[in-house]
Structure 1
């Protein structure tokens, strides 16, 4: 089952985990919505400008590739996407945002999207 996934911290840099996540999610036939501050295209999808807080509906999963120190100004926006879950990848863990998410009935997971895809747990 395809899970529409917003990739926060999306990048065109193939050395970054956010890029690898976009590649593997696409390979697993999950619709990706890359969102970041860098312009470009990843796997046929234009990176949406996070600063414009793009209005997106139907998000199943937000996978975080932004460090907690840079998440604060986007917390309300992330919650407003109303995803079913947020995956905090290694280095993106944020107890404050996780608490806020759980108050809004959003599941939070401290895990690696790449590992979850590899293990069939995505």
Structure 2
């Protein structure tokens, strides 16, 4: 299973980040949900801090590039294997920096990747 950090998680069931956390847990991937407000998605708490984590496979982004700039150091501290840029989160600068660190960048929808068994 691929331990995943969801950045931009929301407790609003109409948001794609909510659906992503829900589907990731349905597929039995361990999830750390980080959002601007505390909350809950099923059994997964949404936290507002940036905890140190190990063995992160994927960081999937649901925040726009202007917010991402404040998260670069945190994202790189996780040493993920890949970063998924969901629609609207594409960021050439972050992708370039990530590739320099050996991190794969994927511009895709986490929900589509899960539903097509490409996650």
Q: TM-score range by the shorter chain?
A: over 0.9
What TM-score do you get using the length of structure 1 for normalisation?
0.94
Q: Which residue of 2 aligns with 1:117?
A: 114
Moved over 6 A (4+): none
Runs (5+) with no aligned partner, structure 1: none
Q: Tell me how far apart the structure 2 counterparts of residues 53 and 27 of structure 1 sit (CA, whole Å).
A: 24
- Count how many residue pairs are aligned between Structure 1 and Structure 2: 119
What TM-score do you get using the length of structure 2 for normalisation?
0.96
2:36 pairs with 1:73:
no
2:113 pairs with 1:92:
no
Q: Which residue of 1 aligns with 2:13?
A: 14
User: Which one is further off, 7-16 or 37-46?
Assistant: 37-46
Shift in Å at residue 109 of structure 1?
0.2
Runs (5+) with no aligned partner, structure 2: none
Shift in Å at residue 117 of structure 1?
0.5
Shift in Å at residue 47 of structure 1?
1.3
CA RMSD of aligned residues (A): 0.8
